[in-house]
Amino acid sequence: MAKEITPRSEDYSQWYLDIVRKARLADTSPVRGCMVIKPHGFGIWERMRDALDAMFKETGHVNAYFPLFIPKSFLSKEAAHVEGFAKECAVVTHYRLKNDPNGGGVVVDPEAKLEEELIVRPTSETIIWNTYRDWIQSYRDLPILINQWANVVRWEMRTRPFLRTAEFLWQEGHTAHATADEAMTETRLILDVYARFAEEWMAMPVIKGLKTENERFAGADETFCIEALMQDGRALQAGTSHFLGQNFAKAFDVLFLNKDNQQEHVWATSWGVSTRLVGGLIMTHSDDDGLVIPPKLAPVQVVIVPIPKPSPELDEAAAKISTALRAKGIRVKVDDDDQNRPGFKFAEYEMIGVPVRLGLGQRDLAANQVEVARRDTKEKANVPLDGIADHIAALLEEIQQNLFDRAKAHRDGHITKVDSWDEFVEVLENKGGFLSAHWDGTTETEVEIKEKTKATIRCIPLDAPDEPGACVLTGKPSKRRVLFAKAY
């Protein structure tokens, strides 16, 4: 099994694709750039979704659903937005097929041409703000705190499962506020929710920061982001929260009567995370033997394998253990397959990333113990059956923490201060990771650095201290360091 995975040291990209395939997370599809999310991959996404959904609701948000299609003319209404999104869209032009009169199957019916083409949503600001116009009259209608779980389509040329696909699943929050302050507070609140989710659930440390103008969402005044670092030293933008100012309200004429009885444009935010997070999860924790999943997001947290195979006595013991674990809310599977050998099963559960494996044999039972194997460290230990549920519950927490600590140590070890261009190029090529460097604040310099090195400014960290310096490329003055990296 594991042998079929390309080692990370050999080819990180291929290793990623091997994990996706061998851990049964996703499959290719006959539709260019679209993937099939298989049950194991979807099980992880479902847990992410449920955890995030609960966090959104705790902070006062509700879910709703807006149409998949956007009239073409809507995209043109916000000038920056159309530049950013209109170029890579799936366009619906007809609404009917008919039998080919020449017998060639079904063909598009030329008589069923839409008057105005419909775009499959790449993001929903336009259709939502067009709707909010009808919902908002006065400050008493505000705030609107709506989130939607949906599929969106962006016609990407180069795709990679989870990380970049033509269709992907995501949530998109779209909120409307009476004041700029309130909208900015919301933008920051969601950034904190995203960071907390990434760290507490995904065990993936992130840096909260502000995007440069050049990397901003098309239509936003400010884009905040969480940035993570993958094992190969590339960064991953894991979530974004946008302060949209009054841009969409102006584009769609959304006015409200404020407390001073005056008409004013509404203030907006939007924010989203997507199935891309599954890609980030894979690349943060997994190894050359397969997937590693933090226990909180693992569809199955513990698997019990009877050794060498199921028997009435072992099955009874396994049932007893699983009952005790389930009583603690632990997700357990008992492997009752009697065709495959334990060695095969062990490799399989390593491959799909079950955090804890219990191996249960006759001798263990006689000694009133069970072999407990951790997926993260590969450590094994014999553990007494008395109190096994408490032991496993604590172990799952320990694994969750260990994965975070390990990822954080890697990330922290890959933030390198560089103060010269030579150093910048050298560290970027040989060590990778985030380069903390001075930048003169111009898009021109940012673009030049990207063209020279493929590194982009991932963010201006929110906690970056004021520190005067000289731009690593131009030598011009800089007020603080920003983080550069090559990114997914």
Give me the residues that bind a second copy (CB under 8 A), please: 27, 29-31, 34-39, 42-43, 45-46, 62-76, 82, 86-98, 105-106, 108, 117-120, 127, 130-131, 134-135, 140, 146, 150-151, 153, 155, 167, 169, 339
**Residue 415 CB, nearest approach to a second copy (Å):** 35
- Of 93 and 420, nearer to a second copy (C-beta) is 93
| Rounded-to-integer distance, Cα 89 and Cα 344, Å | 45
Residue 255 in contact with residue 266, Cβ under 8 Å?
yes
- Of 27 and 426, nearer to a second copy (C-beta) is 27
**Residue 89 CB, nearest approach to a second copy (Å):** 6
**Residue 487 CB, nearest approach to a second copy (Å):** 24
**Residue 395 CB, nearest approach to a second copy (Å):** 26
Residue 131 in contact with residue 125, Cβ under 8 Å?
no
- Of 40 and 450, nearer to a second copy (C-beta) is 40
* Helix (H) or strand (E) segment spanning residue 408: helix 388-412
Strands 302-307 and 356-361: parallel
**Residue 203 CB, nearest approach to a second copy (Å):** 23
* Burial class of residue 358, CB neighbours in 10 A (0-12, 13-18, 19+): buried
**Residue 24 CB, nearest approach to a second copy (Å):** 10
Residue 47 in contact with residue 299, Cβ under 8 Å?
yes
Contacts 24+ apart (CB under 8 A), 466-474: 469/419, 469/438, 470/438, 471/438, 471/439, 471/440, 471/445, 472/418, 472/419, 472/420, 472/421, 472/424, 472/437, 472/438, 472/439, 473/421, 473/424, 473/439, 473/440, 473/445, 473/448, 473/449, 474/440, 474/445
- Of 90 and 425, nearer to a second copy (C-beta) is 90
Token pair for residue 5? Answer: 């995975």
- Of 49 and 242, nearer to a second copy (C-beta) is 49
Residue 25 in contact with residue 37, Cβ under 8 Å?
yes
Residue 394 in contact with residue 272, Cβ under 8 Å?
no
**Residue 68 CB, nearest approach to a second copy (Å):** 5
Coil vs helix vs strand at 291 = coil
**Residue 250 CB, nearest approach to a second copy (Å):** 17
Tell which residue, 274, 271, 268, 272, has the closest CA to residue 129.
268
- Of 88 and 313, nearer to a second copy (C-beta) is 88
**DSSP E strand stretches across 249-386:** 255-257, 263-265, 267-274, 302-307, 332-334, 356-361, 369-374, 380-384
- Of 94 and 431, nearer to a second copy (C-beta) is 94
Strands 144-153 and 62-63: parallel
**Residue 421 CB, nearest approach to a second copy (Å):** 37
Report the first-to-last Cα separation within the chain, whole angstroms: 28
Tell which residue, 115, 259, 59, 118, has the closest CA to residue 178.
259
**Residue 175 CB, nearest approach to a second copy (Å):** 13
**Residue 439 CB, nearest approach to a second copy (Å):** 31
* Helix (H) or strand (E) segment spanning residue 343: helix 342-352
- Of 11 and 46, nearer to a second copy (C-beta) is 46
| Rounded-to-integer distance, Cα 158 and Cα 164, Å | 8
CA 208 to chain centre: 15
| Rounded-to-integer distance, Cα 294 and Cα 242, Å | 28
| Rounded-to-integer distance, Cα 425 and Cα 418, Å | 9
- Of 50 and 448, nearer to a second copy (C-beta) is 50
